[in-house]
Structure 1
Amino acid sequence: MLARVPKVDLSRLPRPRRKGADSAERARVRAERRLAVLGAMFALAYLTVGGRMAVLASSEPEEPRGAATLDAPILSTRADITDREGRILATNLATDALYAQPREMVDPARAARELARIFPDLEEAELLRDFTGARKFLWVRRQISPEQVQAVHDIGEPGLLFGPREMRLYPNGALAAHILGGAGYGREGVDSAEVIGVAGVERFFDARLRDPVRQDEPLALSLDLTIQAAMEEVLGGGMALMNAKGAAGILMDVRTGEIVAMASLPDFDPNQRPPVATKGDPGDSPLFNRAIQGVYELGSVFKIFAVSQALELGLVNPQTMIDTQGPLLWGRFRINDFHHYGAENSVTDVIVKSSNVGTAHIALMIGAARQREFLGGLGLLEPTHVEMAEAPTGRPLLPAQWSEISLLTISYGHGVSTSPLHLAAAYAAIANGGTAVSPTLLRQENPEPGPRVLSEQASAQAVEMLRQVVARGTASLADVPGYEVAGKTGTADKPRPSGGYYDDKVIANFAGVFPASDPKYVLVVSLDEPVETSGTEPRRTAGWTAVPVAAEMIRRAAPLLGLRPKVEVAVADGVTAAAN
């Protein structure tokens, strides 16, 4: 008998959902999420734009500048550089570039022959290879003169073409070459090329000089062209007369740090800047700037720093007697003087006679920590911040540990190496009443005084000691009548690359201030390996080599600087002499 199956109410069973309904629901949720994200992005964008508008509304208006892109036009403009009187030191000149399209040439052999005749530095065989090879384009010369343009035109070759160019011109040739540095071409095309700075102030101020907004605003330097010319002429003559391999000179305003003239020899013509040397000693290259990049042990010119600091600290006065009995023994080291100066000398005579032993005794009173702090305040322990691309490379060489023997040797100019520009800035601080200066190549209108490193009293005492060095000491040949020259000599043995020092090679320096009664300028002259041979024995010390060169510079430059000489008028007995 079959069992009965109960009836089921089909209307009460859940209906199966359709597959399409699930997909629609998921799509709706996704759409809602996307709309939410999109709305948030729009809100953020509005907030960003609104915030930027608020910033712009509250800021000072300025000229908008477009960002450079690869498709930006090549700008060949470059502002002039002038001296402090507005005389042109560097400017742009319209010229032409010469290029070739070999596939358009009718007679490549004749073109190569004629170009080699017009440009003797080009090789005919090499030109012919280029003109008959696979090249479609080549530069022949980046810039040529109008006369050369006409000569190439006369060849009559359709494959030789010209493109307009701006070239950098230095109308004074090699004058101030190391300061200006030079320029070359950056991005270039057939119709134009960028003129960019490659060294010196040209490179340091490259962005400013290339700014189209400021192309009619010359860059005014602190240099005086006439004094720069006088310095280079005197320095070149002195270098030849003293048989030196190199020379440097700096003339600086003691209060502003403005460099009125600065020279390094040998030099070069920035119109035809030589290539960078890849072999040998970089210091032998004419591109090497001895005034900034040349860091040397400068010798006894450093002694005034130790004495000035001792005066400032109240440890001595100009009449204090100092032990000068030599040698001074310090461990295995012996410190001697060039001559025997007796058992004791006054502080003034320690400077006048240039006693290493006496200066070392004064340094012992100061101590290594205070010495380092003082020399740092004078700017002698870091590169100068002068506006030249080469300035960071003139980093002083300091002892690894500033020990007590370092304290002694540094006091008389050994154990630390600095540049002539460092020395000029430090002497300016000593002479100007005791405020530090930062060397600059820009003309200063209203400069702010630097931090005080020395009291006015100590400064005046130091200058008077330097005056005595010229009046009756090692720098007597610097006593130019009427200009009250004060200064100090320094002769330092040159170090050997393998260690130790040469017996017959020195760096001779003179650091001078004038006029001593109211210091206005500091002059530094440095000669590399000088030998004065007028006597029976060769003489290398600074008193015989650097000092006469410095004296001639002062004699030439002082009138150009507007300084009137003080003239002693000889009169009969009973009448008072007057100084004008």
Structure 2
Amino acid sequence: MIRKRNEPANYRPLSPCGLDVGQPKTWVVELEGARKAALETGRTRLIVSALVFALAFVMIGLRLVDLTLLQSDASAQIAKIAPANTEWRSGRADIVDRNGTVLATTLPTNAVYANPRQIRNPDEVAGRLASVLKGVDEERLKGGLASDRSFTWVGRCLSPRETDAVNGLGIPGVYLQHDECRYYPHDDLFSHVVGYSDIDGQGIAGMEKTFEEKLRGGKAPLELSLDMRLQHIMAEELEAAMTEYSGIGASGLIMDVDTGEILSMVSLPTFDPDRPAAASDEARFNRATLGVYEVGSVFKIFSAAAALDAGAVSLEDGYDISKPIRISRFTINDFKPKDGWMSIPEIFLHSSNIGTVHMAMEAGTKAIQDYFGKFGLLKRGAVELPENGSPLVPAKWREINTMTISYGHGLAVTPVQVVRALSAMVNGGELLAPTLVKRRPGERPVGEQVISEQTSAQMRWLMRLVVAEGTGRNAEAPGYMVGGKTGTADKLKASGGYDRNNRIASFAGAFPMDDPQYAIFAMVDEPKPTEKSYGYATAGWVVAPAIKKIVQRMGPVVGLEPRALPSEVGPDPLFVPVHLKGRSVASQ
């Protein structure tokens, strides 16, 4: 072989592809080995990947078994207690006032529950959860988390902030799920009327309970007769009167005398319907419909109406009221005794117990009992709320009962019964069924004629006289022609008899008296005398001023403009003179 210059002695020529052509078998063996090594590496990687995927599927399968079998009782408990998409929860209708303002609605929210079997440190977990959830009882939660159950509620109706806080804790065994809760946007303003529902949306008080079937799955809202604006006025003024005179409670109602619709119903103290369990029994008690009270001289409205309508007396009649009435061991006196003869208007004006008893006895026991029955004062009220009290009526109605009941003692009734009967006294004599549900435009219920239109006209004038010149002067709201009657009654003792130091102060009235549209009743329970009231805690001092403020604030809201009284613009042809202690007054 000829070697080129400078080539090394061990030189081996290479083929054009770079292989050593001098040793052909060596490079073939090397190539085969590299291929086998690559295949082995790939096979190993495939086996490892398959094992990883297989292990993942095994873990998923075990988790599915745990959820479907081992925790089936927890799942069933959740489905039973907190169904997520059932029709009755997601479709519960709203409750609105007469103007469409929402009083109760259902909102989407979240709930949090736990599986105690997955909780390793119940005390620590309970403390962490209680720190971010409002209203959670930490000690009670500890007990639930330490149990051997697979399910326990931690909290319902979570706010967005609480939901985010629970998520942030990231506690194993604690879970969130979608929920729906009833919400009352006006806090305690309508609590006694609207009522409330339980945690699962079932109505258990108020209109929520009465209209449970309508609200459950309903589409259209339940429209109440209440007016939020008037409710606010009534609640604010009653609260002020109760606070000023240190009362233990109060109640007030406003009714449309032509339709029977209740525009405002307030009971104090009140409570938060979003947390009814936190309220006391006293706060949840509806004084307007469930409480029964002796309302004192307010009953003189009904006694006078009965005697006038029966024809037993006329406005020109009168009695000698200078001597107390004694019957058996009882003596009937006047709060402020007066001497001599008084006409019927004066007896009503000065709220004479003695004169009222004479009128009632002139009409007779049977007539008074019959009229009080027709006025709806002797049987349970008919308003839609489930919380309805029954009046306390004498087991056997005797002559002494007629005497005491005529001026408001011996018969206890609910405020809603009073305002219903009061409406009939001023609307022409028609007793209407009270309602908390809004009536359709132009809809007027058919009532029962319980007194004549003439008697109703006479009662309107007598009630106006009390506010213009009598014990109700502090209720005078210039321009609105308010009429009414005050009532102050000592409360019954639990042991029997009357407590001279505790009383019910009330006012029943209507306006405007020349064409009544609204009846109004308010009472304060156990008011205390103040220096401002000169040591008195009577209705004229306690409740009448509140009525004045309510009417003055209410008038513009309902579209009633203050106007001059008939006496300020000349004689009214509807008014005729009546003799009153030697002077003439206007009588309708």
Q: Per the shorter chain, which TM-score range?
A: 0.7 to 0.9
Given that 2:533 and 2:541 are in contact with CA atoms closer than 8 Å, whether structure 1 keeps it comes out as no
Output the CA distance in 1 between the equivalents of 2:127 and 2:409: 60
Tell me which residue corresponds to 1:165.
179
How far did residue 342 of structure 1 move?
A: 2.1
Alignment equivalent of 2:228, drawn from 209, 214, 225: 225
Q: CA deviation at 1:275?
A: 5.1
Letter paired with 1:433: G
Alpha-carbon separation, structure 2, partners of 1:328 and 1:269: 49
2:161 & 2:316 partners in 1: Cα distance? 72
The answer on whether the counterparts of 1:425 and 1:437 sit within 8 Å (CA) in structure 2 is yes
The structure 2 residue matched to 1:75, chosen from 88, 96, 102, is: 88
Cα contact 1:568–1:577 (8 A) shared by 2:
no
Give the Cα separation in 2 of the matches to 1:124 and 1:466.
59
Greater Cα shift, 487-496 or 537-546? 537-546
Corresponding residue of 1:32: none
Q: Secondary structure at the match of 1:91?
A: strand
Which digits, 9 at most, give the CA deviation of each residue in 1:121-163, with x for residues without a partner? 4455654453343121111112211111111111112311122
- Secondary structure in 1 matching 2:145: helix
1:549 equivalent in alignment to 2:546: yes
Of residues 144, 152, 158, the one that matches 2:158 is 144
* 1:8-87 equivalence runs, <5 A: 75-76=88-89, 77-87=91-101
CA change 1:169–1:569 in 2 (3 A) is: same
Residues 421-450 of structure 1: CA distance to partner in whole angstroms, max 9, x if unpaired?
A: 111011100000001111110112312230
Q: Determine the C-alpha separation between the residues in 2 that align with 1:576 and 1:342.
A: 34
Q: Is residue 531–residue 545 contact of structure 1 (8 Å, CA) maintained in 2?
A: no
TM-score with structure 2 setting the length: 0.79
Distance 2:118 2:395 in 1: 66
Q: Is residue 152 of structure 2 the alignment partner of residue 155 of structure 1?
A: no
Q: Quick check: which has more Rg, 1 or 2?
A: 2
Match among 309, 332, 341 for residue 329 of structure 2: 332
With 441-450 and 514-523 compared, the bigger mean Cα shift is at 441-450
Amino acid at match of 2:264: A
- Deviation digits for residues 439-478 of structure 1 (CA, Å, limit 9, x no counterpart): 1101123122301001101100011011000111000111
What is the SS of the residue equivalent to 1:201?
helix
- SS state at 2:510 partner: strand
Task: List runs of 5+ in structure 2 lacking aligned partners.
Answer: 1-82, 573-588
2:398 paired residue among 377, 389, 403: 403
* Identity across matched positions, percent: 41
CA spacing shift, 1:121–1:80, aligned 2, 3 Å = closer
**SS, match of residue 261 in structure 1:** strand
Deviations 1:170-225, CA, capped at 9 Å, x for gaps:
1111111111111113xxxxxxxx41111111111111110x2xx22000000011
| Deviation of 1:365 (Å) | 1.3
Counterpart selection for 1:263 from 259, 263, 266: 266
Cα distance in structure 2, aligned partners of 1:570 and 1:388: 43
Instruction: For residue 400 of structure 1, report the CA deviation from its aligned partner.
Output: 1.2
Amino acid at match of 2:215: L
Alignment length (residue pairs): 486
State which of 252, 263, 286 in structure 2 corresponds to 1:249: 252
Match of 2:56 in 1: none
Give the equivalent residue in structure 2 for 1:94. 108
Cα distance between partner residues in 2 of 1:109 and 1:415: 59
Alignment match of 1:498 (pick from 483, 495, 500)? 495
CA distance change for structure 1 residues 363 and 148 in 2, over 3 Å: closer, same or farther?
same
The secondary structure found in structure 1 opposite 2:448 is: coil
Match of 2:424 in 1: 429
Aligned residue type for 1:517? D
* Structure 2 counterpart of 1:307: 304
Q: Distance in 2 between matches of 1:82 and 1:298?
A: 32
Structure 1 residue 307: Cα displacement? 1.2
Tell me how large the CA RMSD over aligned residues is. Answer: 2.2
TM-superposed deviation, 1:570: 12
| SS of match in other structure, 1:140 | strand
Question: Which moves more between the two structures, 462-471 or 443-452?
Answer: 443-452
Distance change >3 Å, CA 100–CA 367, structure 1 → 2: same
Mapped contact 2:432–2:445 kept (Cα < 8 A): no
Name the aligned partner's letter for residue 254 of structure 2. L
Q: Secondary structure at the match of 1:556?
A: helix
| Comparing 161-170 and 119-128, the one that deviates more | 119-128
CA distance in 1, matches of 2:102, 2:140: 39
User: 4+ residue stretches of structure 1 with deviation over 6 A?
Assistant: 568-571, 575-578
Q: Please report how far the alpha carbon of residue 341 of structure 1 lies from its aligned counterpart in structure 2 after TM superposition.
A: 2.2
Q: 2:365 is matched with which residue? A: 368
| Matched residue SS, 1:286 | helix
Report the AA paired with residue 251 of structure 1: I
Q: Tell whether the 8 Å contact from 2:272 to 2:279 is kept in structure 1 after alignment.
A: no
Q: Displacement, 1:510? A: 0.3
Q: Which runs of 5+ in 1 are unaligned?
A: 1-70, 186-193
Equivalent residues of 1:86, 1:220 under 8 A apart: yes
The one-letter amino acid paired with 1:184 is: D
> Aligned partners of 2:570 and 2:538: how far apart in 1?
40
Q: For residue 200 of structure 1, what is the aligned residue in structure 2?
A: 206
Distance 2:565 2:204 in 1: 51
8 Å contact from structure 2 (residues 250, 524) kept in 1: yes
Matched AA of 1:172: H
Counterparts of 2:481 and 2:412, CA distance in 1: 29
How far does residue 106 in structure 1 lie from its aligned partner after superposition?
6.2
Q: 1:338 to 1:148 in 2, by over 3 A?
A: same
Moved more, 375-384 or 316-325: 316-325
